Amino acid sequence: MWLALRDLLPVMQCPRAQLVLEAIFADEDVLDALAAGQAMLPTGKQLPLGVLRLLKRNLVGHMQSNYYHYRHSIEYEMVRIRRLKDTQMRAVTFFGAAITAGLVGVAKYASRAVYEHYNDDA
């Protein structure tokens, strides 16, 4: 899972997600644990208990110590996205209302012109 997460780093489009992943993989303990796990991966055997302890201590320990920071960063980005969506919806609503008001004004002007044109003939 950690290797797949590392492979996602260049694919991520959200700057905040890239920063969080870069912070995770910039930690030397995380890189050491990943290197140990990756070295054992091609053997296809079960990982030795020492490697599992190293993975748990370094990877899980890193996430536990930085959980609040990462969680806060991700929530901040989600709030920014929601705010952007709200602003976009307001802009669409405003322009929709402006176009509708303009069309109502044109229709009123046209109907009055047509009414006066036919009323003058009578």
Each residue's pLDDT tens digit, 84-101: 999 999 999 999 999 999
Q: Using the predicted structure, report yes or no on whether residue 78 has a pLDDT greater than 60.
A: yes
Quick: pLDDT tens for 16-72: 777 777 777 787 877 777 777 777 666 667 777 777 787 777 777 888 888 888 888
| Number of domains into which the chain is organized | 1
Neighbouring residues of 121: CB distance < 8 A, sequence distance ≥ 6 = none
The Cα–Cα gap between 77 and 70 comes to 11
Task: Specify the pLDDT at position 102.
Answer: 96
Task: Specify the pLDDT at position 1.
Answer: 63
Neighbouring residues of 51: CB distance < 8 A, sequence distance ≥ 6 = 36, 37, 40
Q: Domain range holding 36?
A: 2-121
Instruction: Take residue 109 and report the two structure tokens written for it.
Output: 């002007």
